[in-house]
Structure formats: structure tokens, C-alpha cells
Amino acid sequence: MARKPRIHTPGAIYHVILRGNAHQDIFADDKDRYRFYDILQKSCERFQNRIHAFCLMTNHIHLAVQVSEISLSKIMQNVSLRYTQWFNWRHKKSGHVFQGRYKAIMVDADAYLLELAAYIHLNPVRARITDRPEKHRWSSHRAYLGKESLSWLNTDSILSQFSKNVREARVKFAGFVGERAADGRREEFHGEKNIDSRIFGDDSFIDVVLAKSETLQEHKPDVNAVVEAVKKLYGIGDERLRTQGQERAASEARSLAAWATLELSGGKLTELARQVGRDPSTLTCAVRRLEKRQERDSRLADKMERLRQDLKVQIFKS
């Protein structure tokens, strides 16, 4: 039976589980773990996603991730690729670090975000690695208690539900997690025995999510829309966009169109390649160069954001 496609809804929160390939260890030491922290931080900056909770174990990872308009698939693909490159380079290995397909369950945040955070933080307790979650260094629990600071971790959304006073909220959160320390594995957070294995929530939540997902997919911009938006942004026509020379503006426009096709559209790079008269592999390399440039080129970063906003109108069009 074919796997169901991932569901993307801007603003949704997912319980993500990444496992080591063939149950192998993902982290060799603390340097690897800190590198993964750095990759998570960069993903939040680049894709505007939020991390509400996490737990790094030896051979798997739990994350509570909230997405914006960029899909979870693109975020996790980037995270896993960057860490795999690091791990294999550092340890002189090759091949896969993670299992081919991560697990992701969209969670009704209004009803279950607090429960999800507690469940993630208690993973080391369930695994009998420790008797108290705050003893495990590599989860967000210590940050929630104020014992460490992680700039890329969003704790406000959860702590504010306990109290407006941060100190009081931390105490109440610790008590909330402690009350669940004896709980076992919760199948619903793993997508098991749910009405739809991709979603955890009541019937009405599931109905709304599926309906919204279908609407967004229908109105996601295609490659033609991307090309038109890029031409308008750069003030160029089809002929200049397809020019075989190395004229800077046209080259940058093609690169930006390729980036937007991958990141923001429902189309494929092969479709764009036919329109601009380039090989898909050439456009892929152009995207990589573009992404590196935008980190130090504020003008380019501004153009990327303007294009994102132009196409965002179409993504949310009803």
C-alpha cells in the first residue's frame, strides 16, 4: 500500500521522530550533539520554524516542531542532510545516518502541546536512562526549568499557559511533567491506532486539517506562477531569462526561480528547467550557491523574502 503524503498546514505542530539507520547510534559524543543544536538553530532562522521541545537520545531524536509556510519535509530534509554530511565527514564514514523516512504526527496543539512536551522530556525516564528528566542533559527540559539557555528553543508558548510569572510557570511545568513520570508509551503520539496515522486530535480537528490541506495543495503556486513572479521582481522578460550568457541579473533570476520552485511551489525543477533552457542539475547547483550568498548578501536576502511574500499570497488564496 502506498504511503499517504505528508500533510502541510502553516502553523501546525508536529511530533517528529528521527531514528538512526538500522538502529545505529546517531551521536558519538557531545561535539556531535552540539553540532545538531547548531543545525536546529540554523533551520529555525532559515525556515522560520519553531522548536517547542526536543530530546536527543543515543540512536533517535524527538522534536516538537511548528512550521510556517515552509513544509516540514523541506525542513527535515535540510536538517538530516546537514547533520549526515557533518557526521560522515567527522567520523570518516559514508552512507545514511538516519532511517530513510522520519515519522511525523501533526498534533492538536490547543489540546495536546503540553502533553507532548512532557512526553518528549520523559523519554529518558521511560528508557530507564535516568529517574528524573532534568538529569538528562540533552533535552529541552533543563531549559524549561531555567537551568540553561537555548536561544533557538521556544519555551514561551508552553510556559505562558501555566503562569505569566516565569518562575512560577517553571515550577508548575516541572510538576506537570513529574505527574506523568510513571506513564508508559503513548501510541497516539506515534500515530498508532489514530483515525489518520498522520494526525492526533479529535474528529473535528482531523476534519479541519484534511480540508485545509486539500485547499492549500490546490492553490499552491505552480512553476508558471514562480516564473512570472521572478520576471516581475527583476523586470525582465522570457528571452532574457532564457539567455545563454552569464548576464548577472538573468543568472540570479534563474537561480531565484529554482529556489522558489523547490521551496515554495508545488512544481518540479524539471518543469522550470524546460522553461529557462537549463539542465536540472545546473539549477540545483545554482540554488546551493544562492543559499550560501544570501547569508552575507542582504540585497539578495531581501529579494528572496519579497518573492516569498509574493508567492505566499497564492499559497493562502482560498
Whether residue 236 is contained in a domain is answered as yes
Per-residue pLDDT, 142: 97
Strands 60-66 and 50-56: antiparallel
Q: What Cα–Cα distance (Å) separates residue 14 from each residue in 67, 155, 226?
A: 8, 16, 28
Domain boundary among 182, 216, 250: 216
- 207 and 92 in a common domain: yes
Per-residue pLDDT, 214: 54
- 295 and 199 in a common domain: no
Whether residue 53 is contained in a domain is answered as yes
Across the beta sheet with 60-66, the strand order is 50-56, 60-66, 13-19, 103-107, 199-200
Report DSSP state, residue 62: E
pTM of the model: 0.70
Whether residue 308 is contained in a domain is answered as yes
Q: How does pLDDT run along the chain (318 residues), one tens digit per residue? A: 345 667 778 888 999 999 998 889 999 999 999 999 999 999 999 889 999 999 999 999 999 999 988 888 888 888 988 899 999 999 998 888 998 778 888 888 888 899 999 999 999 999 999 999 999 999 999 999 999 999 999 999 999 999 999 999 999 999 999 999 999 888 888 877 766 667 777 777 766 766 666 555 545 688 899 999 989 989 888 888 888 766 888 889 999 999 888 877 777 888 898 988 888 888 888 888 888 787 677 788 888 888 887 886 454 443
- 186 and 56 in a common domain: yes
What three-state secondary structure class fits 221? coil
- 271 and 142 in a common domain: no
What would the pLDDT profile of 183-220 be if each residue is shown by its tens digit? Answer: 988 888 887 776 666 777 777 776 676 666 655 554 56
Whether residue 3 is contained in a domain is answered as no
- Total domains, the chain: 2
Q: Which of 63, 48, 39 is nearest to 123 (CA)?
A: 63
CATH number at residue 78: 3.30.70.1290
- 240 and 150 in a common domain: no
- 151 and 56 in a common domain: yes
Residue-number span of the structural domain to which 291 is assigned: 220-315
Domain boundary among 173, 199, 216: 216
- 265 and 196 in a common domain: no
- 137 and 283 in a common domain: no
Per-residue pLDDT, 161: 95
Radius of gyration of the chain (CA): 21
Whether residue 7 is contained in a domain is answered as no
CATH number at residue 240: 1.10.1750.10
The Cα–Cα gap between 58 and 117 comes to: 19
Whether residue 135 is contained in a domain is answered as yes
Nine cell digits for residue 128: 530507564
- 132 and 265 in a common domain: no
Per-residue pLDDT, 287: 85
- 208 and 226 in a common domain: no
Report DSSP state, residue 2: P
Number of H helices, E strands in the chain: 14, 5
